Amino acid sequence: MFRNYLKIAFRSLARYKFISFINLFGLTIGLSCCLIILTYLVNETSYDKFNKKADRIYRITRSFNNDQGIVSLHLSAVAPPIAPLMQNDFREIEKITRLLPAGTTPVRYGDKLFNEQNVAFADSNLLGVFDIKLLKGSPRTVLSEPYTAAMTPEAAHRYFGDTDPMGKVIRLNNRINVTVTGIFSPLPPNSHFHSPILLSFSTLEDSTIVGKRELENDWGGNAFYTYLLLPEKYNARSLEARLPAFLDRHMAEPGTAANNMPSRFTKLYLQPLKDIHLRSHLDDEYEENGDINRVYIFSAIALFILIIACINYMNLSTARSSLRAKEIGIRKVSGALRTEIILQFLSESTLLSYVAMLLALGLTWLTLPMLNNLTGLNLSAVSLAKPLIITPLILTPLAVGILSGLYPAFILSSFQPSKVLKGLFKVSGGNLSLRKALVVVQFSVSIVLLISTVVIFRQLHYIQNASLGFNKDHILVMNYNEGLDKNFEGFRNALLEDPHVVSAALSSRIPSGRLLDYQDAATESGDSLRPISANIKYLKVDQDFLKTYGIPILAGRDFSRQYATDSTGFVLNAAATRALGLPHPQDLVGKSFRYGDTKGRVIGIMGDFNFESMHQAILPMILAVPGGQNSRKYSHLSIKIAGNDAAGAIAHIEAVWRRYVPEIPFEYNFLDEKFDRLYQSEQRQGSLFTTFSGIAIFIACLGLLGLSAFSISQRIKEIGVRKVLGASTKQIVQLLSADFLKLVAIAAAIACPIGWFLMHGWLQDFAYRTSISWWIFLAAGALAATVALITISVQAVRAAMSNPAKSLRSE
Amino acid sequence: MIELKRISKWVNVGGKPNFILKDINLEIKEGEFVSIMGPSGSGKSSLLNIIGMLDDSSEGEYFFLGNAVHSLKEKQRSNLYKQYIGFVFQAYHLIDELTVYENIETPLIYQNIKGSERQAMVADILDRFQIVGKKDLFPTQLSGGQQQLVGIARALIAKPKLLLADEPTGNLNSRQGEEIMDLFKQLNNEGVTIIQVTHSEKNAGYGSRIINLLDGRIENSN
């Protein structure tokens, strides 16, 4: 019996080629979208699971809050003393390991000199917690001695070529020599951290790097990513509950009042390793993480596109039901039960969706490389070849076949043979309106996607073109190197010898990065200083910073080398004066101010500017040019150049750099490019939305094409009669198109509020955002209507142009 | 074999019943060849459809080989029908997507008969109707008479006791019509009970009994 079904299915597919093509094509594209998004899903949810002990690994995170309990900062890295103290206090912890990212580090071996990115210091038991495979070296001793390192084969090849890397000495930052004692296989792409070179943690005890004392006592240096390996079946929450007491035990000065204990202002949390990639959005993630919401959004889109394709099948199958009515009648007369007819149509739709699935697998395989380019992801169709995924992959077409075939099957199997065989059969009105409702669903989804696309691009345009409060053009940024400490004045003067170099400035952080440092502050109140609760972010700069970035002074003055007292002077931004409750910037100028341990005066107020991405609001900020022991230790160098000869200026800067720090590679970025990169994920989201909404509209229009072709063929006699009665071609086209345009209009009416709601939510993620103007809805609706109109009118015009004599004779 | 008691059939038009069949009492014995005649709209086809279990009556009782058809469930009725009844139509009603062979085979599929057995049965009937050479053709490749022959072969494939024919020669020319009627006569002689709806006195003459319908009632039966 099944063979008979298949035979009939194949033959009727072949007979109605146009409709079959629409169905197959729509389902194929719908399933391809699903497959592609499935590979994305598989990739996103696989993060860190390559670690066999992933279930038992937790990261310690630390939050800071004010006395009202409002969290101002939540870091995924903590202070260095926490790890050894916890290991000591909580014996049940199996292992505890730390990673300290050292960022981009110049590494030299002989004449090979590279800026290595993502170098990190790692505790020797890192390999015992994470599944990092040691290719060379002893697992027991690797990373244990000071001044030793382990690296990936790729990094080793960079420096040593094909010679044995073990025991070779590399020079970091032109300052410390480190011996290679291990080679490890690189971390897989789905790890939340990566590093080509790991340095032994004990190296940090060198006081020119961090120092033993700081490692044991510095509770403020929250830069150490700390991971726990807990015993099996251990309740992490119960450990977490004991952490406030732990903090108080170790952090509190003797005699601290009970209501002023450290745990009131800072908290530690245990975060499951497997949650890091998708569910952690802390202020200092190791690498850029994914987002569970994005996973949900794209899953929903894939599902909707598949539903649109299924609706095509339902609509076209029921629309065409009169063509199959005779066959069904005969089958019933031949003794078929209704369930057998239903089964037959279900096997037809299932067959179609399996064919579509095969085609979709091919299409996915072909398009994934393209998509990887577009998104920067590294997806592979091979990742689907897992038992856990293959089962649903095999069952999906069955589900799709049943979903799209069930309704037509019920409709078709309900035909009464005595009627259809007599030719009395007519498509009933009820299922016509359902078909219309389904078209409305398709276009609603498409229009929502269109609206989303427009809003995403509008917001991107807005944040990329909004005034940042400073001039980001023609600014080169690079890592400052301590080799310049000895003679920075000379270096700067040498840079300025070229008239195309406008200015050069030092700072602890640069715009487009995050602004995370802060200390407590106090402001003048009468004769004394009163602590303030506002959280003012700290930026260490030199006298040329404001000038280089073109940040305006609103009151008072900029830092100047002419005033020795500027080492205790502060410049705050307007947001800080507002946070202090002062309406006018000049009110604060000249006032005493304490920030951290430095007591001094406010010398100026600068304009607000967007230091961080547009996701963050402009925060209260304080700038200082500390003197004495803290005078150096800058991290970044920014150089403003004239726009007319960038290449020449850069060549000059490089030459000067090579003269002063020849042992450090010269590398730079343009600041505006760094800002653009902040919105890379939105860019990708935008292009994906464009693709998906295009696909959705396309499939919906395919369905419309089939449906309108059919409905016009049904009305061919009516058209003939109308033409004989004197209707013009235009009137007929209007008549035929109006029906479908009405549906698109209803769809737009449904889609607009949904689109508004969704995109309003999306925009909340930005502190600075564009408005959702009415024209977006109009444009999206108009676009959908236009595409639909073009689709229908091709058919309508042909029908309207046909000779009525012909269509009437055929009756 | 067939016993109809006070069978009526109506449809509601504007709230009022519009009778298609009224108070039909009829008995047909096994081996009869009955022709139902009457003008258009007299209810001939409706009566045939009720007898063929394609349609329900609105009222009355229908016994088929002792089974109370009016109170059977769909499945039981379908079983009864599959086993004993074959249908032939004026417009042949072959499935266009299936070949002659497959069209004839279809009823057997719904009776869950094994593949090898089906093959033998279809081969048998193809042979008997001398259409072996046409078995791989599609219906559109056949003449009307040939299509009707296939239709009859399909109706007979499951060896029914009762053959129902709704104007089987209506779409055929006279020569083809005669051939079909001769075939019916021969089948009847072999013991198949036949009920046909026809307009033609000549075709009715092949039967053993004629029932005249007028406005949903039996006018006379002889």
Q: What is the pLDDT of residue A429?
A: 41
Q: What is the pLDDT of residue B28?
A: 92
Whole-number Å distance between alpha carbons of A733 and A798? 9
Specify the amino acid at residue A254: P
Whole-number Å distance between alpha carbons of A633 and A479? 12
> pLDDT tens digits, residue range B97-154?
889 998 998 888 888 888 899 999 999 999 988 899 999 999 989 998 899 999 999 9
Residue A240's Cβ-count burial label (10 Å; 0-12, 13-18, 19+) is: middle
Integer angstrom CA distances of residue B134 from A179, B128, B131, B173, B184: 89, 13, 5, 21, 21
Partners of residue A15 in chain B, C-beta under 8 Å: 96-97
- Single out the residue of B14, B42, B48, B51 nearest to residue B168, CA to CA: B48
Tokens 């011996």: give the residue. A179
In sequence order, what E strands does A160-285 have? 169-172, 176-184, 197-200, 225-229, 266-272
- Single out the residue of B80, B81, B79, B27 nearest to residue B211, CA to CA: B27
Partners of residue A347 in chain B, C-beta under 8 Å: none
Please judge whether B154 and A422 are an interchain contact, meaning their C-beta atoms are less than 8 angstroms apart: no
- Chain B nearest-CA residue for A334: B107
Specify the amino acid at residue A370: M
CB nearest A4 (choices: B49, B89, B109) = B109
Please judge whether A4 and B107 are an interchain contact, meaning their C-beta atoms are less than 8 angstroms apart: no
Please judge whether A330 and B95 are an interchain contact, meaning their C-beta atoms are less than 8 angstroms apart: yes
Partners of residue A418 in chain B, C-beta under 8 Å: 45, 49, 54-55
Whole-number Å distance between alpha carbons of B55 and B49? 5
Please judge whether A329 and B93 are an interchain contact, meaning their C-beta atoms are less than 8 angstroms apart: yes
Q: Inter-axis angle of helices A488-496 and A646-660, to 10 degrees?
A: 150
A337 in contact with B at a CB cutoff of 8 Å? Answer: yes
- Single out the residue of A620, A774, A783 nearest to residue A700, CA to CA: A783
- Chain B nearest-CA residue for A329: B93
Q: What is the pLDDT of residue A808?
A: 66
DSSP string, A677-732: HHTHHHHHHHHHHHHHHHHHHHHHHHHHHHHHHHHHHHTHHHHHHHHHTT--HHHH
CB A646 within 8 A of CB A480: no
3-state SS assignment for residue B13: strand
3-state SS assignment for residue B115: helix
Q: What is the pLDDT of residue A430?
A: 45
Token digits of residue A475: 């600014």
- Chain B nearest-CA residue for A323: B96
- Chain B nearest-CA residue for A421: B93
Q: Say if the ipTM goes beyond 0.90.
A: no
Please judge whether A335 and B81 are an interchain contact, meaning their C-beta atoms are less than 8 angstroms apart: yes
CB A380 within 8 A of CB A295: no
CATH number of B2-94+160-221: 3.40.50.300
CB nearest B93 (choices: A337, A340, A421) = A421
Chain B positions with Cβ closer than 8 Å to A: 45, 49, 52, 54-55, 74-75, 78, 81-82, 87, 89, 91, 93-98, 102, 105-107, 109-112, 154, 158
Specify the amino acid at residue B211: I
Token digits of residue A230: 């807990």
Q: Which residues contact A414 (CB under 8 A, 6 or more apart)?
A: A338
Integer angstrom CA distances of residue A418 from A339, A392, B8, B46: 18, 42, 17, 8
Q: How far does the CA of residue B14 sit from the closest CA of chain A (Å)? A: 19
A327 in contact with B at a CB cutoff of 8 Å? Answer: yes
3-state SS assignment for residue B7: strand
In sequence order, what E strands does A8-111 have? 57-65, 71-75, 95-109
Specify the amino acid at residue A25: F
CB nearest B110 (choices: A12, A334, A418) = A334
Partners of residue B87 in chain A, C-beta under 8 Å: 333
Q: Which residues contact B95 (CB under 8 A, 6 or more apart)?
A: A8, A326, A327, A330, A331, B102, B103, B106, B139
CB B221 within 8 A of CB B209: yes
Count chain A–chain B contacts defined by CB atoms under 8 A: 64
**Residue-averaged pLDDT of chain B:** 89
> Could you give phi then psi for residue A646, rounded to 5 degrees?
-60, -45
Region for residue B35 given its phi and psi (left: phi exceeds 0; alpha: psi -120 to 50; beta: otherwise): beta
Please judge whether B110 and A331 are an interchain contact, meaning their C-beta atoms are less than 8 angstroms apart: yes
Integer angstrom CA distances of residue A28 from A23, A25, A88, A306, A449: 8, 5, 59, 9, 20
Order across the sheet with B209-214: list the strands: B85-88, B162-166, B193-197, B33-37, B209-214, B217-221
Question: Hey, what's the torsion of the CAs at B159, B161, B166, B171, to 10 degrees?
Answer: 40
Handedness of CA A190, A195, A200, A204 (dihedral sign): negative
Whole-number Å distance between alpha carbons of B107 and B202? 31
Per-10-residue mean pLDDT, chain A, length 811? 78 84 90 88 90 95 87 92 94 94 90 92 93 92 94 95 94 92 93 95 90 89 94 93 93 84 91 94 90 89 90 83 80 85 88 91 88 76 77 87 87 80 54 82 92 92 89 92 88 93 93 87 82 88 94 93 88 92 87 89 94 91 79 84 90 94 91 89 85 89 84 79 78 85 92 94 90 91 91 84 68 37
Please judge whether A421 and B106 are an interchain contact, meaning their C-beta atoms are less than 8 angstroms apart: no
CB nearest B54 (choices: A337, A338, A418) = A418
- Chain B nearest-CA residue for A10: B97
Residues 420-439 of A with CB under 8 A from B: 421-422
SS3 content of chain A, % helix, strand, coil (to 5): 55, 15, 30
